[in-house]
């Protein structure tokens, strides 16, 4: 009996597999059956349906009002128009979607979302931050939340709110409770706010957290956690970097719990990159939204114009952000009767699908627009090439050249059987995906609190079993008793989950690609093609050798030689294998960065757990063995030895888990090394094949050279015969032409034939013999004759030209002009050198004059001070001082300066303050400490 797929939600057929009451109520039941179904539900299910419908109504209200210009708002309007068109074609009135609310839904009870709550944007109220509480190592339900684990969580606005009654991170918990908070994005603004709320403080200013604040006094615990060395200093981007270049350096360090020296580093911060995936459509859409956000972030019209000029088409700055979709069907008139009903139904389905997709990504779109250029900014997700080539402006072409993309995207082909093509049916189910590089930010704030930040896929409203948070929740559900005994156990689970993506073979029924298998398949395919190319090379080599041996060069079409000389197929294969090696290198570098972070993490765990291990060793010093556990070690909590032993076992368990992370990670790196080795072997084999082709091309070239030499020899023989015939008959024809003239010297042209032959043949024979000797002889005599002729010609030419130059006076005039030019060049150097020396001498004399005037002023000042001091002593003895008041002590310097006409320092009386007018500086020095200033 064939396998029958069970009928579950969503389906219009009767079924019992109701995964969600709200989904079944809204998606499976007709309007006539909803009242009865709703009335028979328990109160908690009714409350769930009511709450879901209220959220849907609130979301729709936003799309019709405040968010009407967003992508989802535009898609909603398109869907309404398509539905109205379809109902009009079927003779039905236009549907009014809001006049009759469904059961369990009241528009009056719909909560009104404020624009801001405590200064937070609306988007913070729409994003859920999951939270998990652990007691006795197992996840527990939070008491103040309606849902149950793993569906519990708070909004980001609640975690940022400065209200202990509302914010769960500000509320105290029992000592045996460990709590985990997750932020679904790498948003630096959220992190600063939440850590400040955890300590009950206000968020520090950016100046306090910047590089300039590294050596400032720490005024709060938040500043201690977010010091520049732990936070801003680990950023690997600046204001001029590309948006996709934002990331934190791989880092892990302990943070001292107090400012006292030698305190234990209980707190911890960790930044680690990891691999994940994204659909190509989601990647393109996120790039478009980031581009639109960057365009709206421009602060001046000049920036907008400058960017618009760099683009091929002009784009409005406030253009509505819409997704690329198929254009609506064209209509020749506005009458609805001209539109086919099938086209209208297709338009409804198309707009409904576009609306569903836009609704899934609406929150991500609004979140990116809000925080991408915030200070501090959001770190968007990066593709594999963006993470490695951060300086590139665009990596769209490189992204679509990934091995994962080529392995998951539909392959282009020419379909000859529409509806019956197997590949077409398989391509419908394919979704092009590619690798992404995400970031894990994690803080262990104390022994009971862990805060982790890592992003989700684009359109996070869609269910995705490969999401990191979903994987963590499934893993939490299968924990053993005591599985999470400390914050570091929880941190180890999170690190292990993000580092084992694509290497966990137990994950099934997910859309997640398997890069290891895809890389293996790509390498095996290239290896097979390389082997086939090598076999083809040998075949064509044998064919070329056979044709050459049979001397069928002229009859052969040359196809075998053309194949041997064509390296394009091997070049394409080599390019593909180089791309694979490049991607494996990037993946391996990310894994090596993870290895570095894990090493630091394990060291920190050892350092943090050292007190518990030392305490147990001290307590066990009186026993038989440090590994001895008393029977009541985990039951009697009042026994001090029992508590020490329990802490020791928990520490050993935590440390073992951390060390196992390193072992598992080393195995994954070894697997990548194996893939890289296979790819490099294929690359080496292709290079060897190209080398063989080059050598074979050399052989073919040598054969062609021999053929060309033979052809040249045959042509030279033909030319030689033609030359011989020409040499023989040219003198004869010349003599015949001469004697054929009716000249009086030739007896008025009445010579007999015998007389003509006696004249022609001796003359022609002499000319022919001399010509043959010069053309075909290689003897010393012939070469000597040629050399003699060249020497005679050269002698005649050189002698004649020299005689003309001497006789006309051109030779003497040329020598005089050359001598005059040399004298002018020497005089030029002498004059310019003297001018430079004069300038240097004047500058040196000026410096000496300034120094002499300065010394003179100092002497005058000292003399005046001495006279003034003597006058003061005389006045103390009772003598009059009216006629002893001399000029002001600074007057002489000024007068001297005015007399010399040079700028010099002015000295003020009293404190020895000197104002250097020339240098523009002020220095308080006594006159005895002033140095001479030479020049500027």
How many whole angstroms separate alpha carbon 74 and alpha carbon 323? 10
Q: In whole numbers, what is the pLDDT of the chain averaged over residues?
A: 77
Q: What is the residue whose two structure tokens read 């409005």?
A: 316
pLDDT band at 609 (very low <50, low <70, confident <90, very high): confident
Which of 95-104, 167-176, 555-564, 740-749 has the highest average model confidence (pLDDT)? 167-176
What is the number of alpha carbons within 13 Å of residue 115 lying toward its C-beta? 2
Mean pLDDT, range 681-703, rounded to an integer: 89
How many whole angstroms separate alpha carbon 532 and alpha carbon 521? 16
pLDDT of residue 349: 86
pLDDT band at 431 (very low <50, low <70, confident <90, very high): confident
Q: Are residues 491 and 526 in the same domain?
A: no
The answer to whether residue 584 scores a pLDDT higher than 90 is: yes
The answer to whether position 443 is within a domain reads yes
- DSSP annotation of 9: S
The answer to whether residue 321 scores a pLDDT higher than 60 is: no
Q: Are residues 785 and 664 in the same domain?
A: no
pLDDT band at 306 (very low <50, low <70, confident <90, very high): low
Q: For 788-819, what is each residue's pLDDT tens digit?
A: 878 888 999 999 988 998 889 888 888 899 99
pLDDT band at 415 (very low <50, low <70, confident <90, very high): low
pLDDT band at 709 (very low <50, low <70, confident <90, very high): confident
Q: What is the residue whose two structure tokens read 């948006």?
A: 243
Residue that finishes a domain, picked among 786, 806, 826: 806
Mean pLDDT, range 101-126, rounded to an integer: 54
Tokens standing for 883?
Answer: 């006629």
* pTM, 2 dp: 0.69
Q: What is the residue whose two structure tokens read 């064209």?
A: 330
Mean pLDDT, range 776-793, rounded to an integer: 74
Identify the sign of the CA torsion 656, 662, 666, 668. positive
Q: Are residues 781 and 657 in the same domain?
A: no
pLDDT of residue 625: 39
Among candidates 268, 255, 177, which has minimal Cα distance to 492? 268
551: left (phi over 0), alpha (psi -120 to 50) or beta: left
pLDDT of residue 532: 92
More confident residue, 351 or 327: 351
Q: Are residues 490 and 522 in the same domain?
A: no
Q: For 275-298, what is each residue's pLDDT tens digit?
A: 999 999 889 999 999 988 888 877
pLDDT of residue 391: 85
The answer to whether residue 913 scores a pLDDT higher than 60 is: no
Give residues with Cβ within 8 angstroms of 835, minimum separation 6.
Answer: none
The answer to whether residue 893 scores a pLDDT higher than 60 is: no
The answer to whether residue 97 scores a pLDDT higher than 80 is: no
Q: What are phi and psi of 444, to 5 degrees?
A: -95, 100
The answer to whether position 57 is within a domain reads no
pLDDT of residue 710: 84
For residue 40, give Cα distances in angstroms to 23, 35, 37, 502: 16, 9, 5, 45
The answer to whether residue 541 scores a pLDDT higher than 70 is: yes
* Inter-residue contact 477 to 493 (CB < 8 Å): no
Q: Specify the range with the lowest mean pLDDT, choosing from 711-720, 829-838, 857-866.
A: 711-720
Q: For 750-773, what is each residue's pLDDT tens digit?
A: 777 787 788 888 888 888 887 777
Q: What is the residue whose two structure tokens read 């054929």?
A: 740
The answer to whether position 62 is within a domain reads no
More confident residue, 146 or 486: 486
The answer to whether position 853 is within a domain reads no
Q: Are residues 598 and 483 in the same domain?
A: no
pLDDT of residue 190: 94
pLDDT of residue 382: 94
pLDDT of residue 19: 61
Q: Specify the range with the lowest mean pLDDT, choosing from 67-71, 273-277, 286-290, 415-419.
A: 415-419
Return the SS3 of 154.
strand
Beta strands in 119-246 (DSSP E): 128-135, 138-140, 153-155, 177-183, 186-187
The answer to whether residue 334 scores a pLDDT higher than 60 is: no
Provide DSSP, 603-634. HHHHHHHHHHHHHHHHHGGGSS-TT---TTTT
pLDDT of residue 354: 86
pLDDT band at 497 (very low <50, low <70, confident <90, very high): very high
pLDDT band at 676 (very low <50, low <70, confident <90, very high): very high
How many whole angstroms separate alpha carbon 665 and alpha carbon 595? 7
Mean pLDDT, range 599-606, rounded to an integer: 92
Residue that finishes a domain, picked among 468, 485, 509: 509
How many whole angstroms separate alpha carbon 357 and alpha carbon 322? 12
pLDDT band at 71 (very low <50, low <70, confident <90, very high): confident
pLDDT of residue 922: 39
The answer to whether position 50 is within a domain reads no
How many whole angstroms separate alpha carbon 147 and alpha carbon 149? 7
Among candidates 32, 28, 38, which has minimal Cα distance to 7? 28
Mean pLDDT, range 23-43, rounded to an integer: 81
The answer to whether position 674 is within a domain reads yes
Give residues with Cβ within 8 angstroms of 721, minimum separation 6.
Answer: none
The answer to whether residue 333 scores a pLDDT higher than 60 is: no
Structural domain count, the chain: 4
The CATH number linked to 619 is 1.10.287
Structural domain containing residue 662: 515-708
More confident residue, 66 or 214: 66
* Inter-residue contact 897 to 856 (CB < 8 Å): no
Q: Residue 318: is it exposed, middle or buried by C-beta count within 10 angstroms (0-12/13-18/19+)? A: exposed
Q: Are residues 595 and 462 in the same domain?
A: no
pLDDT of residue 204: 86
Q: Are residues 519 and 504 in the same domain?
A: no
pLDDT of residue 293: 87
Q: Are residues 689 and 599 in the same domain?
A: yes
The answer to whether position 487 is within a domain reads yes
pLDDT of residue 493: 93
Residue that finishes a domain, picked among 692, 708, 724: 708
How many whole angstroms separate alpha carbon 46 and alpha carbon 638? 47
pLDDT of residue 7: 45
pLDDT of residue 747: 64
- DSSP annotation of 337: G
pLDDT of residue 324: 41
The answer to whether residue 42 scores a pLDDT higher than 90 is: no
pLDDT of residue 10: 60
Mean pLDDT, range 455-470, rounded to an integer: 82
Q: Are residues 163 and 264 in the same domain?
A: yes
pLDDT of residue 275: 94
Q: Are residues 614 and 567 in the same domain?
A: yes
Q: Are residues 482 and 548 in the same domain?
A: no
Mean pLDDT, range 72-82, rounded to an integer: 86
How many whole angstroms separate alpha carbon 49 and alpha carbon 42? 11
Q: Specify the range with the lowest mean pLDDT, choosing from 202-206, 304-308, 687-691.
A: 304-308
pLDDT of residue 671: 92
Mean pLDDT, range 871-876, rounded to an integer: 68
Mean pLDDT, range 181-197, rounded to an integer: 93
Q: Are residues 526 and 496 in the same domain?
A: no
Return the SS3 of 380.
coil
More confident residue, 925 or 861: 861
pLDDT of residue 652: 83
pLDDT band at 877 (very low <50, low <70, confident <90, very high): low
Mean pLDDT, range 45-71, rounded to an integer: 79
Q: Specify the range with the lowest mean pLDDT, choosing from 48-52, 244-248, 595-599.
A: 48-52
pLDDT of residue 11: 61
pLDDT band at 670 (very low <50, low <70, confident <90, very high): very high
pLDDT of residue 880: 44
pLDDT band at 86 (very low <50, low <70, confident <90, very high): confident
The answer to whether position 497 is within a domain reads yes
User: Percentage of residues in the chain with pLDDT exceeding 90?
Assistant: 23
The enclosing H or E element of 1 equals none
Mean pLDDT, range 914-921, rounded to an integer: 40
Mean pLDDT, range 305-319, rounded to an integer: 51
- DSSP annotation of 744: G
User: Percentage of residues in the chain with pLDDT exceeding 70?
Assistant: 72
């Amino acid at each position: 009996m064939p396998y029958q797929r069970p009928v579950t939600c969503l389906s219009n057929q009767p079924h019992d597999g109701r995964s969600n009451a709200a989904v079944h109520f809204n998606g499976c039941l007709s309007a006539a059956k909803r009242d009865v179904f709703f009335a028979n539900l328990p109160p908690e299910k009714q409350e769930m349906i009511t709450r879901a419908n209220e959220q849907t109504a609130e979301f729709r209200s936003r799309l019709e009002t405040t968010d009407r210009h967003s992508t989802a708002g535009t898609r909603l309007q398109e869907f309404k128009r398509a539905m109205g068109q379809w109902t009009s074609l079927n003779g039905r009135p236009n549907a009014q979607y809001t006049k009759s609310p469904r059961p369990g839904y009241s528009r009056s009870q719909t909560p009104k979302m404020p624009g801001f709550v405590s200064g937070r944007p609306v988007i913070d109220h729409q994003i859920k931050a999951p939270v998990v509480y652990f007691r006795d190592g197992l996840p527990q339900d939070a008491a103040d939340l309606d849902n149950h684990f793993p569906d519990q969580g708070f909004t980001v606005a609640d975690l940022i709110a400065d209200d202990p009654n509302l914010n769960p991170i500000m509320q105290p918990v029992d000592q045996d409770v460990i709590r985990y908070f997750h932020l679904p994005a790498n948003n630096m603004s959220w992190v600063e706010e939440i850590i400040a709320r955890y300590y009950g403080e206000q968020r520090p200013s950016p100046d306090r957290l910047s590089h300039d604040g590294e050596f400032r006094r720490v005024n709060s615990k938040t500043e201690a956690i977010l010091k520049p060395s732990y936070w801003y200093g680990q950023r690997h981007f600046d204001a001029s970097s590309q948006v996709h270049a934002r990331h934190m350096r791989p880092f892990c360090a302990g943070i001292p719990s107090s400012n006292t020296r030698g305190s234990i580093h209980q707190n911890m911060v960790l930044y680690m990159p990891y691999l994940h995936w994204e659909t190509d459509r989601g990647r393109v859409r996120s790039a478009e939204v980031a581009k639109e956000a960057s365009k709206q972030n421009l602060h001046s019209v000049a920036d907008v114009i400058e960017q618009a000029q760099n683009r091929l088409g002009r784009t409005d700055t406030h253009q509505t952000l819409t997704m690329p979709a198929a254009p609506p069907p064209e209509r020749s008139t506005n009458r609805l009767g001209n539109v086919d009903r099938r086209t209208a139904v297709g338009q409804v389905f198309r707009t409904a699908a576009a609306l569903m997709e836009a609704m899934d990504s609406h929150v991500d779109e609004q979140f990116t627009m809000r925080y991408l250029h915030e200070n501090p900014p959001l770190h968007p997700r990066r593709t594999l090439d963006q993470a490695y080539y951060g300086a590139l402006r665009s990596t769209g072409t490189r992204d679509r050249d990934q091995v994962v993309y080529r392995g998951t995207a539909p392959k282009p082909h020419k379909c000859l059987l529409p509806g019956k093509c197997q590949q077409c049916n398989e391509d419908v189910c394919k979704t092009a995906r590619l690798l992404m590089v995400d970031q894990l930010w994690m803080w262990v704030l104390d022994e009971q609190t862990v805060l982790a930040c890592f992003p989700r896929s684009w359109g996070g409203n869609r269910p995705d079993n490969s999401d990191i948070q979903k994987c963590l929740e499934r893993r939490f559900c299968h924990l053993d008793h005591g599985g999470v005994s400390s914050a570091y156990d929880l941190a180890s689970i999170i690190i292990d989950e993000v580092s084992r993506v694509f290497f966990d073979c137990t994950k099934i029924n997910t859309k997640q690609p398997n890069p290891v298998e895809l890389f293996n398949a790509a390498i095996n395919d290239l290896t097979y093609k390389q082997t086939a190319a090598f076999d083809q090379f040998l075949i064509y080599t044998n064919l070329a050798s056979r044709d050459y041996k049979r001397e069928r060069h002229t009859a052969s079409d040359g196809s075998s030689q053309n194949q041997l000389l064509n390296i394009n197929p091997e070049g394409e294969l080599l390019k593909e294998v180089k791309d694979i090696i490049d991607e494996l290198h990037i993946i391996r570098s990310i894994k090596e960065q993870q290895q570095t972070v894990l090493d630091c993490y394990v060291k920190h765990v050892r350092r943090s757990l050292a007190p518990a291990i030392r305490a147990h060793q001290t307590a066990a010093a009186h026993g038989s063995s440090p590994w001895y556990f008393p029977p009541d070690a985990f039951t009697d909590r009042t026994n001090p030895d029992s508590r020490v032993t329990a802490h020791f076992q928990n520490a050993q368990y935590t440390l073992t888990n951390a060390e196992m992370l390193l072992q598992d990670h080393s195995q994954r790196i070894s697997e990548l090394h194996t893939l890289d080795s296979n790819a490099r072997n294929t690359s080496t084999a292709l290079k060897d094949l190209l080398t063989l082709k080059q050598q074979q091309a050399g052989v073919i070239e040598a054969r062609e050279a021999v053929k060309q030499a033979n052809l040249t020899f045959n042509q030279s023989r033909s030319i030689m015969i033609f030359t011989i015939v020409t040499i023989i008959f040219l003198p004869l024809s010349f003599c015949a032409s001469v004697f054929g003239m009716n000249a009086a010297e030739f007896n008025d042209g009445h010579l007999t034939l015998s007389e003509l032959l006696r004249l022609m043949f001796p003359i022609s024979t002499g000319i022919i013999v001399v010509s043959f000797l010069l053309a075909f002889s290689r003897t010393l005599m012939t070469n000597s004759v040629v050399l003699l002729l060249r020497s005679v010609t050269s002698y005649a030419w050189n002698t004649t030209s020299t005689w003309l130059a001497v006789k006309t006076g051109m030779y003497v005039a040329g020598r005089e002009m050359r001598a005059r030019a040399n004298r002018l060049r020497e005089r030029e150097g002498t004059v310019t050198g003297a001018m430079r020396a004069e300038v240097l001498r004047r500058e040196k004399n000026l410096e000496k004059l300034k120094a002499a005037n300065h010394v003179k002023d100092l002497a005058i000042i000292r003399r005046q001070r001495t006279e003034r001091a003597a006058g003061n002593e005389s006045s103390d003895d009772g003598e009059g001082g009216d006629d002893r008041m001399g000029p002001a002590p600074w007057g002489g310097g000024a007068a001297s300066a005015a007399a010399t006409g040079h700028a010099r320092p002015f000295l003020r009386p009293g404190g020895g303050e000197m104002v250097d007018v020339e240098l523009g500086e002020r220095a308080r020095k006594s006159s005895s400490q002033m140095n001479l200033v030479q020049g500027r």
